[in-house]
Amino acid sequence: INQILPTARAGSTLGDVGEKAMVIRTWTRSVLRKLIGYKEHHHRLLDEAATTLELALPKDIVIKNIIPFLQLPSYTFEVEG
């Protein structure tokens, strides 16, 4: 973003949002897509770890004590288009 934004054209009229706004929106969407991907990857790893723990420990201990500790906050990210 720091390489593209300085050379992008700013909007000049009410109907023209300009390149800067479009560059920022595109960059923000790409960051959100990456965050969503990281969150999905985290959940896959969490499921794998939970399965391993369930094999080694009684299920009630895993569900009550370990899973809540490992879970990410339930933030949601929405990406347009």
pLDDT digits (tens, 9 = 90+) for 9-52: 777 666 667 788 888 888 899 999 999 899 889 888 888 887 88
What is the model's pLDDT at position 41?
92
Q: Which residues are CB-neighbours of 14 under 8 A, at least 6 positions away? A: none
The predicted structure's pLDDT at residue 34 = 93
Distance CA 27, CA 47 (A): 30
* Number of neighbours of residue 25 by Cβ within 10 angstroms: 13
Query: 10 forms bridges with which residues in the sheet?
Result: 18
Q: What is the pTM of this model?
A: 0.57
Q: What is the pLDDT of residues 54-76, one digit of tens each?
A: 788 877 777 777 777 766 666 66
